[in-house]
Each structure stands twice: as structure tokens, then as C-alpha cells.
Chains A and B, each alone.
Chain A
Amino acid sequence: MPSFEVRLPTVVRQHAGNAVTVTGDGDTVGELFADLVRQYPGLRNYLISDDGTLHRFVNVYVNDEDIRYLGQLDTAVVAGDDVSILPAVAGG
């Protein structure tokens, strides 16, 4: 199973032992996130909504593609892919 290093947005670092980057394994984004949540349970509420889908205030990219337009959390990842977590930023 490939391993990925993911840089965390600043707001969630305190929930991951102040780590700037975290490393997890998975064949899909969902598996990778499950592995990250296993290591850092505090990440769960930030990444995953109550119904098990990607939290609506988070955008996730695999390389240059938004996973909402791919396979959501089922999006496959392979070694060398760049997985990025972005807080959704909006206002009025």
C-alpha cells in the first residue's frame, strides 16, 4: 500500500501533535484519511462529516484535481501522487 506525506493546514496541526506534515497509507484518499485519523483521532472532525463523506469545508486535491470531481473519498491514489488538504475559504 503506498504511503503519502500530507502537509496539514495550520488550523489542524494542534490536533496532530503540532505536526506540519503527517504520513499515512492507502490505496484511496478515504483509506489514507482513515489511516491518518487512526494516528491522529483529532483530525476526524476536520476531514470527515457525520455521514462519512468529505467534510464540506475541506477541499482535497490529488495532484491538480479536486477529488469532488473524481471519485470523492474513493479516489484512487498511487505512489508519487501529491495529496493536498485545503480549508474552504469564503465569505461575503
Chain B
Amino acid sequence: MLLLPRRAYLQMVADCLGGVPDEACGLLAGPVSADGRPSGGVDAVYPCRNADASARTYTIDSKDQLRAMREAAKLDLDVVGVYHSHTHTDAYPSATDVRQAVDPNWWYVIVGLRHGDPEVRAYHIVDQVIHEVPVVLTDA
């Protein structure tokens, strides 16, 4: 499961709503164990510019990514996932999401804005196979 503090959830959803009509995106940081796998949940959210400035695709702006990685490292955290919005489709990984997944241990969080309320769902993408992970909001 993905443990997501409410403030992180709200920060992510606010960024996605603010990005409409384009897809919004950002990085999620948390603690990892020695082999690089997440050992907890998400402790920090870093909204990033969508370098594609597109309603259909996203690319995390690499300068924003660099800033996020540096800030996370200062907190002894690593990037453990990425979120992005789907403005016109369901909160389920697209073929592009699956093809471009970089880390089987990352959480891929999708914020679906197709319906009235944002729908937040999380996945692991391992060898091109999608595994949904329950999202649990915490008060931490």
C-alpha cells in the first residue's frame, strides 16, 4: 500500500487542478532501504513543470527534478514515485505510462480529473505489467 499523508495528497491534487487543461506532474519522496526500495510512504511532494506543456503527455522538467532530488537528499529521502494528472481519461496508466516507467519500485500515482472529484490511484509498473496499490491517507 501507499501511505500518503493528507497534506501530501492535498498538495498533489491542488497542483493537478491548477495545471488544467494541461497534465500536471511532480515527484514523490520518501525513505528507502539499502536496495533502493521504499521503506515507508511518501514524506514530501515536489510539483514540477510539465516540460511537454501538454494535455496528453508529461515530461518532468529536469531542472525541477534536480531541485527535488537535492531537497529530498537533504532530508535523507529519495524519489520514490511520480504523480501526474489525467485530465480527460481515467486514473489508470496509459500505454505511454507503462512503456516509459523507469523504476519497478516507484509508485506511479495518477490523479484523474475526468469526473467531478479528483480520483487518486497508485500503481507499481513492473516489466510493463500494471499492479494497483491501495492508497491509504494518514494524518502524519
Contacts and interface: CB of A to CB of B under 8 A. Distances in A.
Contacts of A12: 36
Interface residues of B, number: 38
B80 interface: yes
B114 interface: no
Interface residues of A, number: 21
B94 interface: yes
Which of the listed residues A7, A14, A59, A87 has the most CB atoms from chain B within 10 Å of its own CB?
A87
Per DSSP, chain B at the interface is mixed
Contact of B103 (A11, A18, A90): A11
A84 B69 contact: yes
Interface string B101-117: 11111101000000000
6 contacts: A10-B37, A11-B106, A12-B36, A18-B34, A88-B60, A89-B102
Instruction: Give the 5 A-B CB pairs with smallest separation, nearest first.
Output: A92-B96, A10-B36, A91-B97, A11-B103, A89-B60
